Amino acid sequence: MRFALDSSHTDFADSIDSLLSKSDLPAVVRAWNAGDTAPGLKVWQRLAETGVNGLIIDETHDGLGADAIDLVVAAEQLGRHAVPGPVAETLAVAPVLLAGAAPDRLSALAEGALATVAAPPLVPFAVDADVADLTLLVDGTTVSSATHGERRGSVDRSRGLFSVTAAETLGDADTERAVDLGALATAAQLLGLGRRMLEISTEYATQRKQFGKAIGSQQSIKHHLAGVAVGLEMARPLLLGAAMAVRDGSPTARRDVSAAKVSCGDAAYRASRIALQVHGAIGYTMEHDLSLWLTKTRALLTAWGTPAEHRARVMEAL
């Protein structure tokens, strides 16, 4: 089986990358952290105009009717640029929940509404519920709209966490599939975050000099960065394989999603540790852009299932 993207997928990824590169994302994220979400919401509106919000929403509800492979392509780019907001929830989870429980609300989502989701105990808090246009609460197979309480802090300052209370019952949905897609989209974000941290570290290693030579000329630095690159490339086939399994309705889809979440998380975490080592003391400061990728990586490692929970699912399937 060939786990590789075709030209339509790479073109799609390039178009998202080009769009996001036109915005100063570090400045957008810092504004979001400070409570000014307007620049970030403008980025989301531009993304919605390309159809990103409606990727897996069917065409009868103004979506693109795409599949899980397109989803991970988009989510990886949003991770690579550290886009703030409920990415997995808006792109992956809410479309599945609304398709079963309240299909009349899908068009608004496809046109640019932001959605967030809480699904206790796996996902106890809703991300950025104060910004989202729609907050959903999952209880078993039942989906309800919800209101949010007070904000709780996160290691990633661009991820506000909110406890929620059920408001109106919307109906039943395939909540198991929704959770799997949430984990899959989060895994793709982690892969994108890891890629960007490798790029940042490689660039820094060629510029930072010690004793008159770029630190990237040191064999130990080369080996560390090469190890990160190998880890990320080894995780990619697992991510694409999981997306294919979800798309095709494979009986191994849940196991494959968990394997992808673990592998992408491990690869991104290694990228973050090596990035800190390469940058030295400056890498620990909030003033350096690297911090935005580091903190998001740490937060997403446990989003939509912890590594231990996903490893347990793989073991159970085996």
Instruction: Quick: pLDDT tens for 153-167.
Output: 899 999 999 999 999
Q: What average pLDDT does this structure show over 239-264?
A: 97
Q: What average pLDDT does this structure show over 171-198?
A: 98
Query: Using CA atoms in the order 28, 30, 34, 35, what is the torsion angle rounded to 10 degrees?
Result: 30
Phi, psi of 123 (to 5 degrees): -125, 90
Q: Is the pLDDT of residue 2 over 70?
A: no
Q: Write the Ramachandran bin of 289: left for phi over 0, alpha for psi from -120 to 50, otherwise beta.
A: alpha
Q: Is the pLDDT of residue 102 over 60?
A: yes
- Where residue 7 falls among pLDDT bands split at 50, 70, 90? confident
Which of 279, 261, 260, 282 minimizes the C-alpha distance to 271?
279
- Where residue 230 falls among pLDDT bands split at 50, 70, 90? very high
CA distance 47 to 55: 11
β-pair partners for 147 = 165
Going by DSSP bridges, is the β-strand pair 126-127/161-172 parallel, antiparallel, or unpaired?
Answer: antiparallel
CA distance 123 to 238: 23
Q: Is the pLDDT of residue 1 over 90?
A: no
For Cα atoms 172, 175, 179, give the angle at the middle one, nearest 5 degrees: 160
Which of 7, 96, 113, 4 minimizes the C-alpha distance to 52?
113
Q: Which pairs with CB-CB distance under 8 Å and at least 24 residues apart come from 101-106? A: 101/142, 101/143, 101/170, 101/171, 101/172, 101/173, 102/143, 102/170, 102/171, 103/61, 105/134, 106/54, 106/57, 106/58, 106/61, 106/62, 106/63
Q: What average pLDDT does this structure show over 187-197?
A: 98
Which of 127, 144, 142, 121 minimizes the C-alpha distance to 92?
127
Looking at the chain, how many residues does it have?
Answer: 318
Q: Name which residue leads in pLDDT, 164 or 211.
A: 164
Q: Is the pLDDT of residue 196 over 70?
A: yes
| pLDDT for 185 | 98
| pLDDT for 216 | 59
CB of 41 within 8 A of CB of 68? Answer: no
| pLDDT for 229 | 97
The tens digit of pLDDT for each residue in 53-87 reads 999 999 999 999 999 999 999 999 999 999 999 99
As a whole-number percent, the residues of the chain with pLDDT over 70 amount to 96
Q: Is the pLDDT of residue 206 over 90?
A: no
Q: What average pLDDT does this structure show over 114-138?
A: 97
β-pair partners for 143 = 138, 171
Q: What average pLDDT does this structure show over 267-290?
A: 90
Mean pLDDT over each residue of the chain, to the nearest integer: 94
- Where residue 257 falls among pLDDT bands split at 50, 70, 90? very high
